[in-house]
Structure 1
Amino acid sequence: MNPYRPDLISTFGETSGVKALVKIKQQMQQDHDGSRILAERPIVRSEFIDLDALRKLPDNTFGKLYSQFLDYYGYNPDARNPVSFIDDPDLAYIILRYREIHDFVHVLLAQPTTILGEVNVKWVEAFQTKLPLTLLAGFFGPLRLTKNQTRKYLETDLRYAIKVGRSAKLLINVYFEKYFERDIDDFRHSLAIPPPPSLPQFYSHKNAIY
């Protein structure tokens, strides 16, 4: 599978993850916010999220940091691939939601979009969702790290990712859009996420993020 082909990655994620998605659906149905998300089916798209308003939020709010993340990397919320190979509407929405909150998770965990940052996020997702794609990325992604990245990964980042993955609230049950005005440190604390071991560049840049 070509790691530079997002369409192939999305296809593999859909065709290999049905069993895990059924389990995630059960977990969402048993959670207040998770069941609300399943019922309301929020979509992370620019037509539903006012990015200009997020940019005007106070510093260190989740929404402000999310807007900085997008601006720094030149991302937009409309870039996620649609679901093509899952017929069940609930499971199709869950895999879509999983994709669409990915950038929210990067911001929440203070992870850049480097290979190291992606590996760290994938380990959190792997422990929480058990989706095969996340497990493969967690196992094989570190093979592409530089020597310095590998040292940081083994000394601090992997331990942090495992702790978050095991102990934090199931992130797909988080209605992220309702917390844009929340202070990021308070938001993490409410989800049982410890402070990140380091902060990426977008945290210190006035007009950008990680």
Structure 2
Amino acid sequence: MIDPNTLSLPDNAPLFTRLRVALQCLQVLKQDPGNPICGPLLNTCLDLNVYESLAQQLQRSEEGRRLLSERPSLQGKALDLTALERLPEGSLGHEFARYFRDNKISPFETTFEIKNHIDFIGKRYRETHDLLHVLTGYATDVVGEMELQAYVLGNLGIHTAKLILLFGTFGQIKERQPGVGLSEYMRRLRAAYLRGRASSQFLGFWFEHHWETPVATLSARLCAPAERMN
């Protein structure tokens, strides 16, 4: 068994090195899917170029530069879910806290060392996953998770999302999730992808400054309208 604490990605790592480390991360994640080191490290290996591009985009605005400089955290230890749940019903903070309670899960935590902008963006991307469920309305079941991955692919071009969608679609074909046929499944993924492309780029948004803002207001600001389901 590979010790995840021994894995790291050198600065300016070539493609071969990134693929080698990615394969090592996959070996760990196969046995420990929630590993807090190998999850972010795998994302960085596969999406280094995407993260570099996103960092350059953030550098073009004052808000983005401040985000990269201050590196705020949405990890569990930085969140007071009890206080957030006391905020008005419908507010981002209240609905975010209720999301964790209703799904019986805890906020993301990682011990992955943040050494540069690329590491921060990888961590920020993972931290915003649960917030995106709240804002987009995509469920946390298998199909909802795939819809969110398609949305992220359209919005950010994340390669990891492509990989998840590929394996998720194979699983859908093999296992046939009840209630959703393959054609409906593919239609929903396409709709989510196009919605992500039409939406504002979310990664540079200061969610921490909007806990009291209604989810409906933020969703209208950041997300294109969802396709109406017949």
Q: Same fold (TM over 0.5)?
A: yes
TM-score by length of structure 2 reads 0.74
Equivalent positions of 1:104-143 (< 5 A) are 104-143=131-170
* One-letter amino acid of the counterpart of residue 127, structure 2: E
RMSD of aligned alpha carbons: 2.4
- Aligned residue pairs: how many? 194
Residues 110 and 196 of structure 1 are in contact (CA less than 8 Å); yes or no, is this contact kept in structure 2?
Answer: no
- Please identify runs of 4+ aligned residues in structure 1 that moved more than 6 A: none
* One-letter amino acid of the counterpart of residue 186, structure 2: L
Percentage of pairs with the same residue: 23
- 2:96 is matched with 66
Q: Which runs of 5+ in 2 are unaligned?
A: 1-25
Instruction: Indicate the SS of the match to 2:179.
Output: helix
How many angstroms apart in 2 are the aligned matches of 1:192 and 1:184?
11
Are the structure 2 counterparts of residues 80 and 47 from structure 1 closer, same or farther at C-alpha, using a change threshold of 3 Å?
A: closer
Instruction: Indicate the SS of the match to 2:203.
Output: helix
- 2:70 is matched with 40
Q: Which runs of 5+ in 1 are unaligned?
A: 199-210
- Bigger radius of gyration among the two: 2
Which of the numbers 47, 57, 68 marks the counterpart of 1:17?
Answer: 47
How many angstroms apart in 2 are the aligned matches of 1:193 and 1:179?
19
Shift of 1:95: 0.4
Cα-to-partner distance string for 1:22-59 (whole Å, 9 max, x where unaligned): 11101111234322211221111344322112111222
- 1:167 is matched with 198
Residues 40 and 123 of structure 2 are in contact (CA less than 8 Å); yes or no, is this contact kept in structure 1?
Answer: no
Structure 1 residue 100 and structure 2 residue 131: aligned? no
* One-letter amino acid of the counterpart of residue 188, structure 1: S
Instruction: Indicate the SS of the match to 2:74.
Output: coil
